[in-house]
């Protein structure tokens, strides 16, 4: 009867049961709910490893790289989530996970990568360097040219820059949803990515519908003029409708807000909803001011 099994959700598996599942010819969906599954060794090359598996959901950051060696070959969708992370994932843990995805999954098949809410325990300010990923740490994922949905929640926001963002936009031409959720982390980084980085998605990602990303909007370039004094037209795309800016930096007066709104409208003419991270009651004045500024910009699109 198990021979025809296509979907299974299990709280835990021992090695024998895991090996048995890896041989099922029709199994397409596997969800391992345990936050601490054993570190299964790779299968011998002459044995089949989940020949039909398309969707794999896992709840252990530590075991995920090893599990992908067994499950990744035919995956279309990978999701890592947990209701109770044992530890707050460091940037080294994310590097190992992304390297495992790149080495284990077929680059033309994988379409969906989701990392959900990895922040749980407070991070000491003196240890922050252990958790902040750079754009370079994401480059191992650029090999997946058919990605459609990418949502990567990290312990602290990723420190992107315009160069990496351009590489990302050029690599993920079919992307429809791209999100770097900021979460509830108390640690805020100063974004290096600018509005030029945002415009890379308008130029290279014609199918992008939703974007959640942190950037610096304090400086918006003025439109260039040609010899005929006509405005230089930037690349624009007409699919994106939702933009989540988290706590992105922005200027402090109406003129600057208008320039940001005009710039975003020029590259995303279909945009009608802008969201920002709402501060809690303990937030300082600067944090609250940034949120209020983005709400002023958002009002121009409603």
**Domain-embedded: residue 14:** yes
- Proportion of the chain above pLDDT 70, given as a percent: 86
Domains identified in the chain, total number: 1
Q: Is residue 298 part of a domain?
A: no
Residue 260 lies in a domain: no
The band of 224, judged by pLDDT with boundaries at 50, 70 and 90, is low
* Residue 201 covered by a domain: no
Task: Supply the range of the domain harboring residue 34.
Answer: 1-86
What is the 8-class DSSP label of residue 209?
A: -
Could you tell me where the DSSP H helices lie in 137-253?
162-171, 195-204
In this prediction, residue 35 carries a pLDDT of 65
d(CA 222, CA 262) in angstroms, rounded, equals: 10
**Cα 24 off chain centre by:** 31
In a domain, 292, yes or no: no
**pLDDT at residue 146 above 60?**
yes
Is the pLDDT confidence value at 230 over 60? no
Q: What is the pLDDT of residue 227?
A: 46
Residue 37: inside a domain, yes or no?
yes
In a domain, 60, yes or no: yes
Give tens-digit pLDDT for 247-267.
Answer: 999 998 999 999 999 999 999
Q: What is the pLDDT of residues 161-190, one digit of tens each?
A: 999 999 999 999 999 999 998 755 567 888
DSSP string, 16-58: HHHHHHHT-TT--EEEE--SS---PPPPPTTS---TT--EEEE
Q: Tell me the whole-structure pTM to 2 decimals.
A: 0.91
Residues 294 and 260: beta-carbon distance below 8 Å: no
Report whether 245 contacts 215 (CB < 8 A): yes
């Amino acid at each position: 009867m198990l021979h025809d099994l296509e979907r299974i959700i299990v709280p835990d598996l021992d090695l024998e049961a895991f090996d048995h599942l890896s041989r099922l010819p029709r199994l397409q969906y596997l969800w391992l709910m345990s936050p601490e599954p054993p570190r299964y060794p790779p299968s011998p090359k002459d044995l089949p490893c989940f020949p039909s598996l398309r969707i794999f959901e896992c709840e252990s950051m530590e075991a995920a790289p090893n599990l992908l060696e067994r499950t990744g070959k035919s995956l279309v969708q990978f999701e890592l989530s947990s209701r109770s992370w044992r530890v707050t994932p460091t940037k080294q843990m994310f590097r190992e996970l992304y390297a495992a995805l790149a080495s284990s999954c077929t680059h033309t098949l994988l379409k969906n990568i989701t990392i959900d809410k990895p922040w749980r325990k407070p991070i000491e300010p003196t240890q922050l360097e252990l958790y902040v990923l750079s754009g370079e740490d994401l480059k191992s994922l650029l090999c997946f040219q058919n990605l459609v949905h990418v949502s990567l929640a990290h312990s602290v926001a990723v420190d992107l820059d315009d160069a990496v963002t351009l590489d990302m936009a050029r690599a993920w031409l079919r992307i429809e949803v791209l999100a770097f959720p900021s979460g509830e982390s108390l640690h805020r980084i100063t974004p290096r990515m600018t509005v030029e980085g945002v415009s890379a998605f308008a130029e290279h990602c014609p199918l992008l519908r939703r974007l959640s990303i942190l950037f610096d909007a304090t400086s918006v370039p003025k439109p260039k003029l040609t010899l005929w004094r006509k405005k230089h037209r930037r690349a624009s795309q007409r699919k994106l409708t939702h933009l989540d800016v988290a706590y992105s930096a922005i200027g402090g007066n109406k003129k600057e807000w208008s320039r940001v709104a005009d710039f975003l409208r020029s590259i995303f003419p279909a945009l009608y909803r802008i969201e920002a991270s709402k501060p809690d009651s303990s937030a300082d004045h600067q944090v609250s001011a940034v949120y209020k500024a983005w709400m002023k910009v958002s009002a121009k699109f409603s």
